[in-house]
Amino acid sequence: MEWSILFLGPAGAGKTQAIRLMSDIEVVATEAKATDEVALYKSHTTVAMDMGIMQLGEGDRILLYGAPGQDRFDFMWDILLQQSKGVVLLIDHSRSDPAADLSHYLDQLDRRGGKRRPMVVGVTHTDVASDSSIDLYREQIKNRSGLYDMGGLPILTIDARNPQNVRTLLLALTAMVDMSERFPSGVDV
Ligand SMILES: Nc1nc2c(ncn2[C@@H]2O[C@H](COP(=O)(O)OP(=O)(O)OP(=O)(O)O)[C@@H](O)[C@H]2O)c(=O)[nH]1
Ligand SMILES: [Mg+2]
């Protein structure tokens, strides 16, 4: 089996970092020197995509793709989404309005993604944010219909520099992808 997973989220959320941690090959990254506001907090930014591979044994593997966070490179999102079985949405909790960032990405996914695909949210940078509570995200998705309700959108606090954290997030997502492959029209509970 070979699945593609896409890491999405704002610039600096930790997409490239997480993929580098998980990949068994050297990550193919398209990073350029950051300019404008991104340069204030990091030196490089993804301009096209990252690509890494997790080998699962017996020939099974998961391809890890990272999208550029900056909206001006968002032409890549559709291309990468098309081939992805699931999405890891990383949100940087230390940005000025991270709940609005989550809302922005959910809107974008609804608009571009066609059918909703399995997704998990990883909230990064809680260690450097003034308030580490992630309740604001639950508020944000409460009024959204469908799969985001009823615990259908796992939200976990992670540090993208911590392999165990990223592995847990990917484990949750791969379980969801596996379910959606086995039961494409959903499961009654
Ligand atoms: N303090 C802190 N730093 C983190 C955390 N997660 C990731 N980082 C750091 O934040 C930075 C994230 O950078 P990248 O991985 O390049 O971010 P990106 O999401 O790929 O950003 P773009 O390519 O610009 O869209 C790195 O320096 C990480 O080490 C976290 O939870 N806390
Ligand atoms: Mg990047």
Ligand 2 centroid, distance to 8 Cα (angstroms): 9
Atom nearest to 68 CA in ligand 1: 25
Bridge partners (DSSP) listed for residue 51: 28, 65
Ligand 2 centroid, distance to 69 Cα (angstroms): 7
The whole-number pLDDT of residue 112 equals 84
Query: Does residue 80 lie in a domain region?
Result: yes
Average pLDDT, the chain: 89
Ligand 1 centroid, distance to 99 Cα (angstroms): 18
Cβ 65 vs Cβ 4: under 8 Å: yes
The whole-number pLDDT of residue 38 equals 81
Query: Does residue 103 lie in a domain region?
Result: yes
Query: Does residue 171 lie in a domain region?
Result: yes
Ligand nearest to the CA of 123: 1
Query: Does residue 153 lie in a domain region?
Result: yes
Cβ 15 vs Cβ 67: under 8 Å: yes
Pocket of ligand 1 contains residue 165 by CB under 6 Å: no
Dihedral angle, C-alpha 152, 78, 74, 61, nearest 10 °? 70
Query: Does residue 186 lie in a domain region?
Result: no
How would residue 189 be classed by pLDDT, with cut points 50, 70 and 90? low
Query: Does residue 6 lie in a domain region?
Result: yes
Ligand 1 centroid, distance to 113 Cα (angstroms): 25
Write the DSSP assignment of 40-65 as a string of letters. GT-SEEEEEEEEEEEEEETTEEEEEE
Ligand nearest to the CA of 68: 1
3-state helix, strand, coil in the chain (%, to 5): 40, 25, 35
Residue-wise pLDDT for 112-162, tens only, equals 865 678 999 999 999 999 998 999 998 888 777 665 654 578 999 999 999
Query: Does residue 189 lie in a domain region?
Result: no
Please list, in sequence order, all residues whose beta carbon lies within 8 angstroms of the beta carbon of residue 163, skipping any fewer than 6 positions away.
21, 22
Look up the CATH number of the domain holding residue 56.
3.40.50.300
Mutate to test the pocket of ligand 1, among 74, 87, 105, 124 (most ligand atoms within 8 A of CB): 124
Number of domains in the chain: 1
The closest residue, in CA terms, to atom 14 on ligand 1 is: 14
Query: Does residue 187 lie in a domain region?
Result: no
Residue-wise pLDDT for 18-40, tens only, equals 999 999 999 998 989 988 788 88
- Inter-axis angle of helices 15-22 and 163-182, nearest 10: 90
Q: Alpha-carbon torsion 25, 80, 45, 30, what sign?
A: positive
Residue-wise pLDDT for 46-104, tens only, equals 988 999 999 998 899 999 999 999 888 888 899 999 999 999 999 999 999 999 999 99
Bridge partners (DSSP) listed for residue 42: none
Domain hosting 16: range is 2-181
The whole-number pLDDT of residue 23 equals 98
The whole-number pLDDT of residue 152 equals 73
